[in-house]
Amino acid sequence: MPKQIRLTTPLSTEDVENLNIGDKVFLNGIIYTGRDAAHKRLIDLLNEGKELPFDVQGQIIYYVGPSPAKPGKPIGSAGPTTSYRMDAYTPRLIELGMKGMIGKGNRSPEVIEAMKKYKAVYLGATGGAGALIAKSFKKAEIVAYEDLGPEAIRKLEVENFPVVVINDTKGNDLYVEGAKKYRKE
Amino acid sequence: MREVHTDEITKVVRDLFMDANCNLGEDVLAAFDHAIEKDESPVAREVMKELKENARIAREENSPICQDTGLAVLFIELGQDVHIVGGDFKDAINEGVRQGYMEGYLRKSACDPFSRKNTGDNTPAIIHLEIVPGDKIKIMAVPKGGGAENMSRVNMLTPAVGIEGVKGFVVNRVKESGSNPCPPTVIGVGIGGTFERSALLAKKALLRKIGERNPDPEIAKAEEEVLERINKLGIGPMGYGGNTTSLEVFFEVEPCHIASLPLAVNIQCHASRHKEAVI
């Protein structure tokens, strides 16, 4: 069985260096949400030499656009979106000290290289398990770009959010290794 | 002539989208159980259990299975002896979509292609209308998520490649899509017609229930063969490795031009959401 690890954000370089592909991680603490539209705005701010709406140092961005919260709930269904749409923006944020991303699907060679160079990890959440995942989210608060609706940047307080390490700091890729192991012929 | 009021159409559309987004089909759940029992990978079995648990929570809490509650795609078979009264048919459908997505706390995912500005109510619906004999209206609602749709393709093949070429293209499309479309997927394959007709056939194929084979035995055999080849790729649930990369492959075939072999592959995520009703 894969290794199971409990981690609390913000993450240190040591925290992420200890992770290997296939490890199951239960995340606790604060994470931030963002999809392509929010990422574009973050990079535009950096290009203009302005400050980001939150400090990415040691943080994790979760690629999610939740469904609307029902009354009395912090958030609606909240599973991951496909990550490659963020690839163009991600290396810059990793360079600034971001330690992790949560999504689903393959990353570009540039993102994988940045994870190796600056020590960060890519974590997978179960795509399409939005109702189950939302159970791990205790609080949600919009911190930027409210006009983007589901794509606004939210600060989430999470408790034992289950994710799997897909790319570690050594350049390994669960998608490559997993398929190799079970391929037939 | 049988009269049907637009208010009834609106209500049926509203209910169908709320139902499809919150209640996973029994055929899909049975396919999950099969994977939990049969997949060689412990990680794959774990993912399939999570998906089953997710479906249970969604059903119990009446919350969406997935936050991507899709664009509102509808296949409508309108009986030629139906007279629609009370207003505009298309407006009635869009109103149903608007109400379903608002009242069901479903995500609004429709936006302008360039400014990316959200239309705010998940309209316009994508309506495929067919006039059929009779005095009924059959409405099929297919909320279609973006992740799997983005991995879909249309290709105009050279007729010489034949059915083997078709099979190879489909398997390769699934391989190249890898973990992106939320495997285990359902694969709709449209063969024949014209460029746009093949895409429509591929989407229509997704309306079938898991396990329902094409009535043509040759085509049914091809569906089974392609499914087997896909599940030998090793991609597995979520792409973490395993033997369950797709739950089902559906082929729909129609005649085409003597110069052409149109092929469309429409990929659907494991939720494979669709519900229907007859008015």
In the structure, what pLDDT confidence band is assigned to residue A1 with cuts at 50, 70 and 90? low
Tell me, yes or no, whether B210 and B242 share the same domain. Answer: yes
With a cut of 50, which residues of chain B have pLDDT below it? Answer: none
In the structure, what pLDDT confidence band is assigned to residue A3 with cuts at 50, 70 and 90? confident
Quote the domain boundaries for residue B16: 2-20+65-144
Residue B33 lies inside a defined structural domain of this protein: no
Which residues does chain A have within 8 Å of residue B147's beta carbon, measured at their own beta carbons? 81-82, 104-105, 127
Amino acid residing at A24:
K
Size of interface A-B (CB pairs under 8 A): 166
B56: tokens are 């249970």
Residue B151 lies inside a defined structural domain of this protein: yes
Residue B44 lies inside a defined structural domain of this protein: no
Question: Is pLDDT above 80 for A14?
Answer: yes
Domain final residue, candidates B89, B117, B144: B144
Return d(Cα A36, Cα A151) in angstroms, integer: 8
Q: Domains in chain A, ordered, with CATH?
A: 30-182 (3.20.130.10)
Interchain proximity B241–A178, CB inside 8 Å: yes
Residue B9 lies inside a defined structural domain of this protein: yes
Return d(Cα A105, Cα A134) in angstroms, integer: 20
Residue B54 lies inside a defined structural domain of this protein: no
Question: What's the Rg (C-alpha) of chain B?
Answer: 19
A83: tokens are 């990550």
Tell me, yes or no, whether B178 and B226 share the same domain. Answer: yes
Tell me, yes or no, whether B188 and B120 share the same domain. Answer: no
Tell me, yes or no, whether B102 and B157 share the same domain. Answer: no
The predicted pLDDT at position A74 comes to 95
Catalytic residues of A: 39
Domain final residue, candidates B113, B144, B175: B144
Tell me, yes or no, whether B131 and B196 share the same domain. Answer: no
Tell me, yes or no, whether B158 and B225 share the same domain. Answer: yes
| Digit-coded pLDDT (tens) for B163-176 | 999 999 999 999 99
Tell me, yes or no, whether B135 and B157 share the same domain. Answer: no
Other C-beta atoms lying within 10 Å of the C-beta of residue B127? 16
Per the CB < 8 A criterion, the answer to whether B85 and B4 are in contact is: yes
Residue B97 lies inside a defined structural domain of this protein: yes
The predicted pLDDT at position A150 comes to 87
Residue B52 lies inside a defined structural domain of this protein: no
Which residues does chain B have within 8 Å of residue A180's beta carbon, measured at their own beta carbons? 234, 241
Residue B55 lies inside a defined structural domain of this protein: no
Looking at the structure of chain B, the number of domains it has is: 2
Which is it for strands B137-144 and B275-278: parallel, antiparallel or unpaired?
A: antiparallel
Please list the alpha-helical segments (H only) found in A119-160. Answer: 130-133
Domain final residue, candidates B126, B144, B162: B144
Tell me, yes or no, whether B222 and B241 share the same domain. Answer: yes
Tell me, yes or no, whether B112 and B181 share the same domain. Answer: no
The predicted pLDDT at position B72 comes to 98
Of A30-39, A142-151, B83-92, B235-244, the one with minimum mean pLDDT is A142-151
Tell me, yes or no, whether B184 and B268 share the same domain. Answer: yes
Question: Is pLDDT above 70 for A162?
Answer: yes
Return d(Cα A15, Cα A10) in angstroms, integer: 10
Per the CB < 8 A criterion, the answer to whether B21 and B143 are in contact is: yes
Å between B179 CA and nearest CA of chain A: 5
Q: What is the DSSP string of A6-61?
A: EEESSPPHHHHHT--TT-EEEEEEEEEE--HHHHHHHHHHHHTTPPPSS--TT-EE
Which of A98, A100, A63, A56 minimizes the C-alpha distance to A78?
Answer: A63
Return d(Cα B178, Cα B180) in angstroms, integer: 6
Average pLDDT over residues A105-112: 96
Interchain proximity B180–A149, CB inside 8 Å: no
The predicted pLDDT at position A110 comes to 97
**ipTM for the predicted complex:** 0.92
Interchain proximity B68–A129, CB inside 8 Å: no
| Residue labelled with tokens 């540039």 | A110
Interchain proximity A181–B51, CB inside 8 Å: no
Average pLDDT over residues A61-74: 95
Which residues touch A182 (CB under 8 Å, ≥6 apart)?
A: B40, B41, B44, B234, B236, B241, B242, B243
3-state secondary structure chain B: CEEEEHHHHHHHHHHHHHHHHHCCCHHHHHHHHHHHHHCCCHHHHHHHHHHHHHHHHHHHHCCCCCCCCCEEEEEEEEECCEEEECCCHHHHHHHHHHHHHHHCCCCCCCECCCCCCECCCCCCCEEEEEEECCCCEEEEEEEECHHHHCCCEEEEECHHHHHHHHHHHHHHHHHHHCCCCCCCEEEEEEEEECHHHHHHHHHHHCCCCCCCCCCCHHHHHHHHHHHHHHCCCCCCHHHCCCCCCEEEEEEEEEEECCCCEEEEEEEECCCCCCEEEEC
Return d(Cα B192, Cα B257) in angstroms, integer: 8
Tell me, yes or no, whether B220 and B117 share the same domain. Answer: no
Return d(Cα A52, Cα A41) in angstroms, integer: 9
Return d(Cα B58, Cα B80) in angstroms, integer: 38
